[in-house]
Amino acid sequence: MRWLDKYERQKEEDVPIGLILCAGKKHETVELLELEKSSIRVAEYLTELPPRKVLEEKLHKAVKHARHRFENLKTQKGL
């Protein structure tokens, strides 16, 4: 986001923000990430906000992937 802000942002554009998508067993959370208030690394960035359905699909795919990785780690450690 800092690179985008420094090299790509046009004078008439606002400072870039991030969108954090998180999910637990019982709820999902969407948070805005402001450039000056965070040191979080960005895995992917988009120049336009996609439709809600696309964000939901990405979130569910990420959760499924994380659960799969977690189960694999548990298996490797014999838990």
How far apart, in whole angstroms, are the C-alpha atoms of residue 40 and residue 33? 9
Counting the structural domains of the chain, the total is 1
pTM of this structure:
0.45
Q: Render pLDDT for 30-77 as a digit per residue (tens, 0 to 9).
A: 777 676 665 666 667 677 888 989 888 888 888 888 888 888 887 887
In degrees and rounded to multiples of 5, residue 62 shows phi and psi of -65, -40
More reliable by pLDDT, 2 or 7:
7
How far apart, in whole angstroms, are the C-alpha atoms of residue 28 and residue 24? 6
Range of the domain at 45: 2-76
At residue 53, the pLDDT reads 92
CA distances to 6, 10, 30, 49, 62 from 68, in Å: 37, 41, 22, 28, 10
At residue 48, the pLDDT reads 80
**What's the mean pLDDT in 1-13?**
81
